Structure 1
Amino acid sequence: MIKMIDGFPSTFGDDYQLNTNEFIRYAATTFPEVEVISRNLDGTLMRYNYEQAYARVGKLANALKRLGVKTGDRVGVMEWNTHRFFELYLAVSGIGAVLLQVNPRISNEDRAYVINHAGATVICVSESMIPFIESIHNDLGKIRQYIILNDEKQNEIRSNLSPIHDYETLLESESSHYDWPMINECSAYSGAYTSGTTGKPKAVYYSHRTICLHTLCLSTLCSINSSDVLIRLCRCFIAMAGGFSFVRH
C-alpha cells in the first residue's frame, strides 16, 4: 500500500470538494436559457432549459429527503434516456445518496441480484418498465418504496408494487430551493454493474471526484463548448452513459 505523507500546505483552497451538483448549478446560472431536450414515451419532445431543470432537480431533492432517502442510500433507477434520468442523476447524488443504474436488458435473476447486492432501498422505474420490476419485487427484500417515472402526472397507477409514488406528483408539492450539502468527493456518486457475462454481475462505484474529473477531460478531449449540440446515444443505465452525463454543462 502506498504511504500517504503530508507536505507543506498550499494556499489554493484544496479542501473544496468536487461535487456533481456543481454542474447543474453552473449551467443554470451561466447558461440558463440553453435547452435540454428529451423524447417522451409517446414520441413527443420535452423541452426545457437549464434554469428550469435546476428548479426541478431541487424539487426532486426535497422529495427524496421527504421520502426518507439518507446519505449513502442506494436509489435504483431503471429508465430510458429522458429528462427524468437527467434529473435523478443530479438530485440523488446531490443529497449524498448513490444512483444505482439498473439495466433492463439483463435477466430478471441478475436484475434482482444487482438491486439486492447494492442494498437499494428505493426503485425509480419507467412506467414502461413496471412489468420488469413486478416480476421480481417479491425477491427485493430491502426496497421500501417505488417511484413511477411517467410523462404526465397520474392520479392512479395500475401496479402490484407497493407503496408507489408518481414522479410528477412528488415534484409538484415541493419547493425548488434546496440547501445542497458539500459532499466528500471520495463518496460514491453512482453505482453500475457488469452484465454478468462471466458469473454474477460485478459492481463498480464511481466517486464524485472521478466523474467531475472525467467530465472535464471529456470536454477537453472532444473540444466541446457551449455552442455545441450533443445527442446522447449511449443508454443512461449503462456505464454512466459513456461518461457523457454532464459533459454538455
Structure 2
Amino acid sequence: MQDAGHDSTPTPYAYPLLIKQLLHTTFIQAPDQEIVYRGQLRMTYTTMRERIARLANGLHDLGVRHGTTVAVMDWDSHRYLESYFAVPMMGAVLQTVNVRLSQAEIAYTINHSGAEVLFVHTDFLPVVEAIKDQLDTVRAFVWIDEPGSDACEHTIPFATEYEAMLAASATHYDFPDFDENTRATTFYTTGTTGLPKGVYFSHRQLVLHTITLMAALASPVAGQRFHRGDVYMPLTPMFHVHAWGMPYIATVLGVKQVYPGRYVPERLVQLVRDEGVTFSHCVSTILHMLLSCDEAKHVDLGKWKIVIGGGALPHGLARAALDRGIDVFVGYGMSETCPVLSLAQLPLHTEPLDLDEEVRLRCKTGFPVPLVDLRIVNEQMEDVPRDGKAYGEIVVRTPWLTQGYLNNPEASAQLWAGGYLHTQDIANIDTTGNVQITDRIKDVIKSGGEWISSLEIESLISLHPGVAEVAVIGIKDEKWGERPVALVVLRQDAQVSEDDVKQHVLGFSKTGQISKYAVPQTVRFVDALQKTSVGKTNKKWLREQFA
C-alpha cells in the first residue's frame, strides 16, 4: 500500500495576480450596470467586456505582442478604461501620456518608453502633427475620432480609427496567463526639474493596490467609504497614476462609473447632479474650482465623497466643502507609490467632534493603509519619536512601489537608498499612528534657525474669509536665512490688505499655534497661482518669479 505522504496529486493552478483576475465577479454580478461618458454615451459592463476583447484583437492585428508598449493620449473616457484592462491583459504595457506636458516633453516620454502604437484623440492632433517626425519608436497611429470635435488638417499616417477598429474585431480574446511580475503600466513623473522620469508597475502591484485600497475604503463605520452603492467619477486625469487606481476598484465592485471627458467645471457639476455621483477624487485646486463655479451654487452636493490628494487640503477649503455637505478627506501618495499610502479617515470617537477638530483630522495626511510600512526618519535613517512634533522624512515599503525609474539607475538608487523608498516629504507622526506632512524637503522654509512649514501657513491663511487660494514660498534673507512670502488669490470682490493677512497669521502666532517666524514678511496679491501639469501649485516657478 502506498504511503499517504507520497500520494501523487494533480498540480494545482498557480493563480497569478494578473489584472484580468479583477474582472471575474464583475461581469457575473453587475452585467447590466452602466458606464457613462459625458452623459451622452451609455453602455453596460457586458458591452465593456466585449469592447475589451475587441480592443485586444484590434491591437493584435496591429502587431502588439507581449512586452509591446501602447501609448494613449485621451481625456477621461470609457476608451481609457478599456485600455486600462485590454493592453496589460495582453501582456503589453500601457503608457498613459501626460497630455499637459510640453510638446517636447510628450515626444521625449513616448520615445523613452519605446511606445510602438499611439492612440490620439482628435483634440491632440495638433500636438502629434508637430512632433510626429520626432517619434522614433511609434510605428502605428490610431485616431480617436470624438464626435463634435473638429479635426485640424494633418499628415499623421493613421492605421485605423478607434471605433472602426473595434467594430471590425471579434468579441472574444483568449487573454493568456504569464508572470504576475510582468510590467503592466508606465507613465512619467512631472518633476519641476530635469526631464520627466518613467515609473512602472507590474500586474501583481496593481492587483495588490486594488485589493488593499478597496479594503481600506470599506473599513469606516460611516462616511469616507467607497462601496457597491456608490457612483464613481474620477476628477484626477486617467494619465496620472492610474487615476489613483480607483477605476480598477470601481470596476471590481461593479459600480456605475461616469467619465467626464475634458474637465469643464459646469459640466462636472451637472454630471454629479444628473448621474448621482457620490465618489470622486481630485487635487484641491479642482475642488476649489468646482465650489466656485456658478453651477455648483444650485446643486445638492450632500451625497458626494471626495478624496483630496496631490498636495495639502487647506483648512479653509475643507470647511467650505463641509459647509456644502461634501464628505471630504485627504489621501496621500505619489507617482512612485502607485499611489495610495494613507487616508485621513476619522478614527472612532465616542463623543462628536467639534468642527475645528474634525477639519484638522480630515486635513491630516492620515493613517497608513494595510500592508504599508511607513517610517519617519532622520538623516541617519533612525525613527523619530512618535509625539506629533518631531519631524523627519517619510520612507516606505509596500508591495506596490515602483522598483525604480525606467532606464535611470542613478535616480533609482537615490529613490531606494537604504532599502526604503524615499518620498522627500517631511512629516511627523503621533502616538496613534496618524501622520501629518509639514512640507516637501525642497519647500521647507528655514528661518531664524527654525524649519517652517509652508503648508501650515497656507492652511491658516486659507481660513481668512477673503482668501480664495494661497501659496507660501521662502525667499532669501540676509538676517534670517529665509523668510516666508505669501502669494494670495482673493475671492471675488473681497477687500483685503497685506496687513490684514499678516495680522490674521499673527493671531495664530500669539496663541502659540505657530512660530513668530511663520508670519509672512511679504504678502503679494496675484490673479492666479501657476500650476503644474497635474494641477499642483508650481512652487519652483513661483520662487523663480518672486525671488
The two structures share one fold, judged by TM-score above 0.5: yes
1:24 aligned residue: 23
2:133 aligned residue: 138
TM normalised by structure 1 equals 0.88
SS in 1 for 2:247: coil
Alpha-carbon distance in structure 2 between the residues aligned to 1:146 and 1:88: 15
2:232 aligned residue: 230
One-letter code of the match for 2:240?
A: I
Q: How far does residue 29 in structure 1 lie from its aligned partner after superposition? A: 2.0
Q: Which residue of the other structure, out of 232, 241, 244, is the alignment partner of 2:243?
A: 241
1:45-60 equivalences in 2 (<5 Å): 45-60=40-55
Cα RMSD after superposing both structures = 1.9
Q: Aligned pair 1:192/2:190, yes or no?
A: no
1:149 touches 1:167 (CA, 8 Å); kept in 2?
yes
1:221 aligned residue: 216
Q: How far does residue 13 in structure 1 lie from its aligned partner after superposition? A: 5.4
1:89 aligned residue: 84
Alpha-carbon distance in structure 1 between the residues aligned to 2:85 and 2:136: 26
Q: Aligned pair 1:119/2:114, yes or no?
A: yes
Alpha-carbon deviations, 1:137-167, whole Å to 9, x = none? Answer: 1100111111111345xxx995311133100
Alpha-carbon deviations, 1:44-82, whole Å to 9, x = none? Answer: 521111111000110111110011011101111111100
1:64 aligned residue: 59
1:210 aligned residue: 205
Do the aligned partners of residues 241 and 157 (structure 1) sit closer, same or farther apart at CA in structure 2, a change above 3 Å counting? same
Q: How far does residue 14 in structure 1 lie from its aligned partner after superposition? A: 7.6
- Which structure is higher in strand share? 2
SS in 1 for 2:248: coil
2:36 aligned residue: 37
TM normalised by structure 2 equals 0.41
Alpha-carbon distance in structure 2 between the residues aligned to 1:12 and 1:245: 34
Alpha-carbon deviations, 1:69-112, whole Å to 9, x = none? Answer: 11101111111100000111111111110000111111111111
Alpha-carbon distance in structure 1 between the residues aligned to 2:98 and 2:56: 23
Larger radius of gyration: 2
Alpha-carbon distance in structure 2 between the residues aligned to 1:123 and 1:235: 18
Do the aligned partners of residues 66 and 199 (structure 1) sit closer, same or farther apart at CA in structure 2, a change above 3 Å counting? same
1:127 touches 1:150 (CA, 8 Å); kept in 2?
yes
Alpha-carbon distance in structure 2 between the residues aligned to 1:161 and 1:24: 35
One-letter code of the match for 2:30?
A: F
2:145 aligned residue: 150
Q: Percent identity?
A: 34
Unaligned 5+ segments in structure 1 are 1-10
Unaligned 5+ segments in structure 2 are 1-9, 219-225, 253-547
One-letter code of the match for 2:34?
A: E
SS in 2 for 1:189: strand
Alpha-carbon distance in structure 2 between the residues aligned to 1:47 and 1:183: 33
Higher relative contact order (CA 8 A, sep 6+): 1
